[in-house]
């Protein structure tokens, strides 16, 4: 909201400072904002376009090892374990967990293919409640990540990383739109009550 106020204050300050001479700077200012918005729309279109090339995974336990399978039609490349996160999703030092797990680098994981992601050297007690972060490249060469949460009961949960759509101005406009809708819906019940009372009378 503060950024929105700043954007709104700029033309006002130009009018106060330059009077009628502010017309041309204000036009240029809004043209720059329009170019900015168009650039953000292009970035969002690219993000949505690249989403169709993302693989999605499944994981299962086989003894003391974890098997990662590609359930999509898109391949994944350069798969490796990047980090282990604790219960608060904070990274654990590799010096602590590397001697408890055996893992490697997989050059590619094709559709419907399955690989051994890692194997626990003794038991997986240390990893219960923790999260394994897997890094990979999609077919566009973009670095992506997916997380595997090892539950306390031994269950496994695959957590894809949420992708935030790019854009500062677009998010401001979206937040403003939501805010205006909330204000409208907040007064809507009162309007309905007044109309009902008027019809009753």
Task: Give the whole-number percent of the chain exceeding pLDDT 90.
Answer: 38
- Whether residues 69 and 136 share a domain: the answer is yes
Higher pLDDT, 122 or 1: 122
pLDDT at 93: 92
Q: How confident is the model at residue 176 (pLDDT cuts 50, 70, 90)?
A: confident
pLDDT at 3 over 90: no
- Whether residues 83 and 136 share a domain: the answer is yes
CATH of the domain at 121: 2.60.40
Cβ contacts of 101 within 8 Å, gap of 6 or more: 81, 84, 118, 119, 120, 121, 127
What is the domain range of residue 13?
1-51
Q: How far apart are CA 122 and CA 114, in angstroms?
A: 23
Q: Is the residue at 199 inside a domain?
A: no
Q: Which residues of 145-175 are buried (b: 16+ CB within 10 A; e: fewer)?
A: ebbbbbeeeeeeeeeeeeeeeebebbeeeee
Q: Is the residue at 186 inside a domain?
A: no
Count of structural domains, the chain: 2
- Whether residues 133 and 41 share a domain: the answer is no
For the residues 154-167, what does the mean pLDDT come to?
82
∠ CA(116), CA(119), CA(125), 5° rounding?
135
Higher pLDDT, 177 or 193: 177
Which residues are bridge partners to 102 per DSSP?
A: 119
pLDDT at 104 over 80: yes
pLDDT at 23: 82
Q: Is the residue at 149 inside a domain?
A: yes
Q: Let me know: does 90 contact 131? Beta carbons within 8 Å.
A: no
pLDDT at 109: 95
Higher pLDDT, 4 or 40: 40
| Cβ neighbours of 83 (radius 10 Å) | 17
For 145, the token pair is: 């990540």
Q: How confident is the model at residue 14 (pLDDT cuts 50, 70, 90)?
A: confident
- Whether residues 77 and 103 share a domain: the answer is yes
Cβ contacts of 46 within 8 Å, gap of 6 or more: none
Higher pLDDT, 135 or 195: 135
């Amino acid at each position: 909201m503060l950024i929105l106020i700043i954007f709104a204050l700029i033309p006002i300050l130009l009018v106060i400072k330059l009077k009628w001479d502010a017309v041309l700077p204000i036009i240029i200012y809004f043209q720059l904002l329009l170019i900015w918005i168009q650039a953000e729309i292009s970035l969002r279109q690219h993000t949505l376009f690249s989403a169709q090339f993302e693989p999605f995974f499944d994981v299962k336990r086989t003894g003391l090892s974890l098997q990662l399978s590609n359930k999509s039609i898109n391949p994944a490349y350069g798969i490796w374990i990047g980090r282990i996160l604790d219960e608060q999703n904070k990274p654990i030092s590799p010096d602590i967990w590397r001697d408890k797990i055996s893992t490697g680098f997989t050059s590619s994981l094709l559709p419907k293919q399955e690989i051994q992601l890692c194997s626990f050297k003794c038991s997986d007690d240390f990893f219960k409640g923790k999260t394994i972060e897997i890094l990979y490249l999609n077919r566009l060469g973009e670095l992506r990540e997916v997380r595997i949460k090892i539950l306390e009961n031994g269950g496994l949960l695959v957590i894809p990383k949420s992708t935030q759509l790019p854009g500062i101005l677009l998010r401001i406009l979206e937040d403003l739109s939501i805010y205006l809708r909330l204000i409208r819906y907040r007064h809507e019940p009162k309007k309905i009550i007044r109309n009902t009372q008027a019809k009753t009378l």
